């Protein structure tokens, strides 16, 4: 049974408005991360199933430090920058389709995918057929709702303008290999707003150097925390600010401790 993803949109945060130029820049950020992701994946290696980040399990090897911030919804959305810049998911069953990953492993309903995830990039290429596109160790996946303008319309699944991007459309040609691995995931606009809090409550793997920089730049967020835990041990804000996670591990498991109620929208599987 995959972890259930709940739709919880922060009350204070308006949906991100993306114009055509921003849509083009968004697409560019999806495409240019290949070298960085490949380097990190090679460093990390394949992890065992017990290290599945989204299932919040422990044990096995290569377990990164865990940082849990107890926050309300309003402040927790400040962490959405990690969802948009990209995070890692370990313990993924690879060799499956994109559709199977989203529904069976990430717990996102078919209805939500059909109605709201209209643009999907796999390894920097727009995907039209979620059932034939295969997830592999090191895959880079980006999920977005509809983007405006001709660029946005062209990149949507099954777009009538798909012929405009024929040379970059994702086509499956490799060998399907099973096992477990790690993928890089990015969420944008409505998808990030809808699924972000639920993913953060389960925990995501983020670059430790980026997290250290974020913590030092956002001490106001730490002040809003009712509790800060590192590896399940309470720590003071001053101690956290003096820490450099990058000296301990390439990754940190970042999670938000908060009640994430189910929202009855009919879009997420019970």
> What residue segments make up the domains of the chain, in order of their start?
20-257
- How does pLDDT run across 238-247, given as a tens digit for each residue? 888 887 777 7
Q: How far is CA 113 from CA 53, 116, 130, 194, 200, in A?
A: 22, 6, 10, 12, 19
Given a cut of 90, whether residue 79 has pLDDT beyond it is: yes
Which band of pLDDT confidence, cut at 50, 70 and 90, is reported for residue 250?
confident
Looking at 34-179, which runs of residues are DSSP E strands? 66-70, 87-93, 119-122, 125-126, 140-144
Q: Judge contact between 260 and 70, C-beta under 8 A.
A: no
Of 84-93, 94-103, 139-148, 152-161, where does mean pLDDT reach its minimum?
Answer: 152-161
pTM for the complete prediction?
0.73
241 in Cβ contact with 219 (< 8 Å)? yes
pLDDT band of residue 37 (cuts 50, 70, 90) is low
CA 34/CA 184 separation, integer angstroms: 10
Of the ranges 43-52, 160-169, 178-187, 243-252, which is most confident?
Answer: 178-187
3-state secondary structure of 49: helix
Q: Which two tokens stand for residue 5?
A: 């993803």
Q: State the pLDDT confidence band at 186, using cuts at 50, 70 and 90.
A: very high
- For the stretch 195-230, pLDDT in tens is 999 899 889 999 888 999 999 899 899 899 999 999
Question: So what's the pLDDT on residue 265?
Answer: 42
């Amino acid at each position: 049974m995959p972890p259930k993803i709940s739709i919880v949109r922060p009350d204070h945060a308006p949906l991100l408005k993306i114009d055509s130029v921003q849509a083009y820049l968004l697409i560019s950020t999806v495409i240019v991360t290949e070298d960085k992701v490949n380097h990190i994946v090679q460093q990390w290696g394949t992890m065992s199933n017990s290290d599945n980040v989204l299932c919040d399990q422990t044990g096995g090897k290569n377990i990164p430090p865990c940082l849990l911030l107890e926050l309300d919804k309003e402040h927790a959305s400040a962490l959405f920058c990690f969802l948009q810049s990209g995070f890692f998911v370990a313990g993924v069953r690879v060799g499956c389709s994109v559709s199977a990953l989203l529904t069976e492993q990430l717990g996102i309903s078919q209805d939500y995918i059909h109605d709201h995830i209209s643009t999907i990039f796999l390894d920097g290429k727009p995907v039209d057929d979620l059932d034939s596109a295969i997830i592999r160790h090191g895959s880079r996946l980006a999920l977005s709702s509809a983007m405006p303008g001709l660029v946005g319309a062209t990149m949507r699944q099954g777009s009538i303008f798909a012929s405009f991007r024929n040379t970059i459309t994702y086509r499956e040609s490799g060998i399907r290999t099973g096992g477990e691995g790690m993928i890089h995931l990015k969420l944008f606009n409505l998808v990030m707003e809808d699924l972000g809090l639920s993913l953060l409550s389960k925990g995501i793997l983020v670059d430790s150097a980026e997290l250290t920089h974020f913590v030092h730049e956002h001490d106001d967020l730490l002040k809003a925390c009712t509790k800060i835990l590192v590896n399940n041990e309470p720590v003071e804000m001053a101690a956290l600010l003096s820490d450099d996670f990058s000296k301990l591990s390439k990754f940190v498991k970042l999670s938000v401790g908060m009640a994430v109620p189910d929202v009855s929208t009919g879009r997420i599987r019970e």
